[in-house]
Chain A
Amino acid sequence: MSDMLNTSVSGLMAFQQELDTTSNNIANASTPGYSRESVNLVSVPGPQIGQLSIGNGVAVNSVQRIFNQTVASQVVSATSAYNQLNSFSSQAAQIDNLLGSTTNGLSTQLQSLVSALQTVANSPTASASRQAFLSQAQQLVSNLQSDDGSLQTLNLQANTQMTSDASQVTALAQSIATLNKQIMADTSPSAQAPGSLLDQRNQLINQLATYANVTTTQQSDGSVNVYIGSGQTLVTGTTASSLSTIANPYDPSEDDLAISTPAGLTDVTAQISGGTLGGTLQFRSQMLDPARDGLGQIALVLSSAVNTQNQAGLDQSGNPGQAVFAVGAVQVLPSSSNAGTPAVTATVSDANAVTANNYILRYDGTNWTLSNASTGAPVTMTGNGSAGNPFSADGMSLVVAAGAQAGDSYRISPTRAAVAGMQVLLTDPSQLAAAAPLLTSATTGNTGSGSIDAGSVPNPATWVRGDYTLSFTAAAAYQITNAVGTVVANGAYTAGAPINFNGMQVTLSGAPATGDSFAIDDNASGSGDNRNAVAMAGLLDQPLIGGNTSINGAVNQLVTSIGIKTSQAQAGTTAQQAVLTDASNAQQSVSGVNLDEEAANLVQYQQAYQAAAEAIKVASTLFQSVLSAVQS
């Protein structure tokens, strides 16, 4: 009888435990990171009575936390992948809205500049149309600068975002270390680790994954070591490192990520991937910086081309044209760790050959080497770096002064600062050089088939202005006389070969006869000439950049590449969200609480509990029966 009582009581106790566990599951049905628990029961074997053995009830073996490390790890990696793409695509959308508009973008502004030039070409002496050109040029500059300014603001936002994310990572690392400590204290060799602490720690690791890629290793003492990025130690046992932002060694306006180690801060920017930090870094290197460099390249090539054309013509007063635009200089940033103090100066020698890349110039103690900053590929330089024979590479001239120490390096960004320093130099509308400098013509009565081109003034500084006559003293010999009849040049005639004299250049073709002559006049009075303005208006479609891409083409490429990256990121985000949902489903399928299931369990355990209680009642009745039999 006492066996029956004990057995039933053990049942009562066990079902009590199961009911408690079930109600705990129900209570935590909405707790993030909670893993459901279940009670493992074992039957207690009874003593051997003859050939019989009757069990001695039930015992609670353990309360099991239903958890699968594999699916949990999948959630962690899916979380960091999703957050990287989501952060990248939402930031990319800002640039897309800024530069990718199909109706009011940079190309519209450039087209307006061309239209203004064409209007000047229709009536070069009308000051209203000249003024309209200057205003349009000003408008273009301020639009470019507004775009560049917005990109700089995005850079500041990225810095702020990274700083805030880094401090969140640090706080999470500290919480994980604290939980590690508690779990280690509670996990004596035999005792079971408390599920709630494990769930909390797991949840913190999940949160960490929203900021960066996370990997963990489980230690035998119950703690986990946490690594971010490509294996940077963040938590070891009860010790947490901190993640923070520091200024980029070259460019203080861009923050880098640094992790604290016993040896001090270590720059881990290149190692961090995944999560919002990875997304922001990727956005900065793949969209933000290329967009600024691309805009700078367009500004640089445009201003160089327009300046050259304006300088090749004559303004309304008949004077050689001046530069129209100025752009910011090549940006040279010394590394903060440089030991030497030489001055490195970089200038643009050929705007059309300049790329939108960034470069690193390094000194190894004897030689200077140049490499592409993003790919690390070496870039060949000619020259020796002296002022007389500067290093020359990709349209840049680099002059290095003495005093560099081995290991010194510089980041060179040829176009990064171009837009910020851009301005319109012309102040007077009459300074637009709409006219060509020379007016050439064949003299009426020439008997040969010779013809002369429009001529040009390649070198305005050596131009001796005046009217000249080129006459043929023989079919293959020419001489050039000035207005008072003095011979200033003569030579043998070759059809198609340029003839240079007094800073001017003309090219004749065909077969002139002896005695034929051509007038090469100073076009100083030709204020109604529009040839230079027409040539300037055609610049945007010329294959200037690298000899194969027009300015219009470059704008289009920039906008298209921004659009493609943004739309790819958006599509990737949607896809990765599905992956995250699947992983989360799988994890919740194992560890999540299903209320219907708990309801059924509740009923089952309640009934079992009631049955055990009934068994006690029966035992009691039996005992009473025995007592009353003895008494009577």
Chain B
Amino acid sequence: MRISTAEFTSQAILEIDNQSSALQQTQNELSTGVAVQTAADNPVAASQIVQLSQQQAQLSQYGTNLQSAQTRLTLEESSLSSATNTLQSIRDLAVQAGNATLNDSNRAQIATQIQTQIQALLGTANTKDSNGEYLFAGYATQTQPFATDSGGNVSYQGDAGTRLIQVSANQSVADSDTGATAFMNVPAGNGTFTTAANAGNSGSGAIDSGSVTDLTQWTPDNYALTFTSPTTYQITDATTGTTVVANGSYSSGAEIQFQGVQVSVSGTPAAGDSFSIAPSSNQSMFATLTQLTQALTQPADSAASKAQLATSIGNALTNLDQGISHLSTVSASVGARLNMLTAQSTINTSTSTTLATQQSNLQNVDYASATATLSQQMVSLQAAEQSYAAIAQLSLFKFLSS
């Protein structure tokens, strides 16, 4: 085949150009460390890289969310623990107030101390987080959740919402509990029923908070335990009007059993004295404490009022125990969520590492192969240049002229 001299030169230069361009591309990959810089470099890989970096950014946001939830839950945990301590101190004071040797003024002093503790508990319940949001207010985080009215009653002003924070693609966690859950919805009495002494009782009989012996026999109605004489009593179901126990024989401190539950009355009740037994409902901790302070500030100068006081203190202690146990239940749920967050954080971190590895495999230069390509391309370019230089020297004219 004839080769045109001019074409030979222009082709050699084209080839050298192409080789230089490929070399420059490899050099660029090596110097940036990135093999896929734009979608055109490798459309399929680029699409995957974009998705992987989206997922990574999402995971990193989940990490931020997780920390935010952790912060609030940790704060809640410590708030609940301090509320438990407060209730424990109040319980100690209530036990102290039950000492029969105390006089009215001693009890009034204890009531004052309890008042101070109530304020502390109120402060805990109104805790704000670092963003200035009330922790126990539900969604109404700008509304102080617990407020005291003029009558000294504490009511819940928040709502029933629980904020869910997304911590992974398909997992959300509540970053707090509502004040209603934590402080208001505490089962009263022993959890099944409550006991109370009739305010008009004239004897010294005091009722304890009772216990359940067989829940299957219990019907949640209102019952009245009425003393027909200081040694006999009857129990009627006030809801249905039927008589449950027609004629019981009373001895102080003995268990009175009916409908699968038992209560005991101690002291000397007078004929006509009565005690009520009602199904348990939820009661706020603050209501329990208010009732306790009110009972402690009543003068206890007669046998009847002393019996009333004993019943009130007994009920308050039961309710305080319920409160402490309720707080520990809520606290356990917070702890479980914190454990879940820790586990999720580990999962997110390892997923992120996997994604980063995948992305790196797709996007980053394989230095070994790129270096090999580089030296191969350098050899090719050098060969193209050297061969051109050598061949371009060839000319018949040279030989003819010599």
Measured between beta carbons, the chain A residues less than 8 angstroms from B239 are: none
B40 sits at the interface (CB 8 A): yes
Docked-complex contact B5 and A594, CB < 8 angstroms? yes
B65 sits at the interface (CB 8 A): yes
A603 sits at the interface (CB 8 A): yes
A556 sits at the interface (CB 8 A): yes
Could you mark each residue 1-43 of chain B with 1 if its beta carbon is under 8 Å from any beta carbon of chain A, else 0?
1111111000100100000000000000000001011111111
Question: Given A521-B159, A528-B137, A530-B163, is A122 in contact with B143 using a C-beta cutoff of 8 Å?
Answer: no
B165 sits at the interface (CB 8 A): yes
Could you mark each residue 115-134 of chain A with 1 if its beta carbon is under 8 Å from any beta carbon of chain B, else 0?
10011011111100000000
Instruction: Name B281-304 residues within 8 Å CB distance of A.
Output: 282
Measured between beta carbons, the chain B residues less than 8 angstroms from A103 are: 53
Give chain B nearest CB distance to A538 CB in angstroms.
Answer: 8
Measured between beta carbons, the chain B residues less than 8 angstroms from A102 are: 34, 36-39, 46, 49-50, 53, 363
Docked-complex contact A92 and B40, CB < 8 angstroms? yes
A41 sits at the interface (CB 8 A): no
Give chain A nearest CB distance to B67 CB in angstroms.
Answer: 9
Docked-complex contact A100 and B14, CB < 8 angstroms? no
Number of interface residues of B (CB under 8 A): 64
Q: Measured between alpha carbons, how far is A528 from B163 in the docked complex, in Å? A: 8
B347 sits at the interface (CB 8 A): no
Q: Measured between alpha carbons, how far is A597 from B1 in the docked complex, in Å? A: 12
By beta carbon, the residue of chain B nearest A92 is B40
Which of these binds chain A: B193-201, B246-254, B393-401?
B393-401
Measured between beta carbons, the chain A residues less than 8 angstroms from B137 are: 528
Instruction: Name A100-116 residues within 8 Å CB distance of B.
Output: 100-103, 105, 107-108, 111-112, 114-115
Instruction: Name B41-55 residues within 8 Å CB distance of A.
Output: 41-44, 46-47, 49-51, 53-54
Give chain B nearest CB distance to A147 CB in angstroms.
Answer: 14
Q: Measured between alpha carbons, how far is A592 from B164 in the docked complex, in Å? A: 80
B160 sits at the interface (CB 8 A): yes
Docked-complex contact B166 and A594, CB < 8 angstroms? no
Name the residue in A124, A563, A564 with the highest tally of chain B Cβ atoms < 10 Å from its Cβ.
A563
Docked-complex contact B138 and A100, CB < 8 angstroms? no
A184 sits at the interface (CB 8 A): no
Docked-complex contact B161 and A100, CB < 8 angstroms? no
Question: Given A111-B54, A600-B396, is A529 in contact with B139 using a C-beta cutoff of 8 Å?
Answer: yes
Q: Measured between alpha carbons, how far is A525 from B157 in the docked complex, in Å? A: 10
Measured between beta carbons, the chain B residues less than 8 angstroms from A99 are: 39
Measured between beta carbons, the chain B residues less than 8 angstroms from A111 are: 53-54, 57-58
Docked-complex contact A107 and B54, CB < 8 angstroms? yes
B152 sits at the interface (CB 8 A): no
B395 touches which of A439, A530, A593, A599 (Cβ 8 Å): A599
Instruction: Name A510-569 residues within 8 Å CB distance of B.
Output: 519, 521, 523, 525-531, 534, 537, 552, 555-556, 559-560, 562-564, 566-567
By beta carbon, the residue of chain A nearest B142 is A527
Q: Measured between alpha carbons, how far is A111 from B58 in the docked complex, in Å? A: 7
Measured between beta carbons, the chain A residues less than 8 angstroms from B64 are: 115, 118-119, 122
A621 sits at the interface (CB 8 A): no
Docked-complex contact A562 and B68, CB < 8 angstroms? no
Q: Measured between alpha carbons, how far is A118 from B168 in the docked complex, in Å? A: 12
Measured between beta carbons, the chain B residues less than 8 angstroms from A552 are: 51, 54
- Complex A-B: 30 CB contacts under 8 Å: A29-B5, A99-B39, A101-B37, A101-B38, A102-B37, A102-B53, A105-B50, A107-B50, A108-B53, A112-B57, A118-B62, A118-B166, A121-B166, A122-B65, A123-B131, A441-B160, A525-B139, A525-B143, A526-B138, A528-B138, A528-B140, A530-B163, A531-B164, A534-B164, A563-B41, A563-B43, A592-B3, A595-B5, A596-B394, A599-B400
- Which A residues have a C-beta under 8 Å from some C-beta of B? 29-30, 92-93, 96-97, 99-103, 105, 107-108, 111-112, 114-115, 118-119, 121-126, 435, 439, 441, 444, 519, 521, 523, 525-531, 534, 537, 552, 555-556, 559-560, 562-564, 566-567, 570, 577, 581, 584-585, 588-597, 599-600, 603
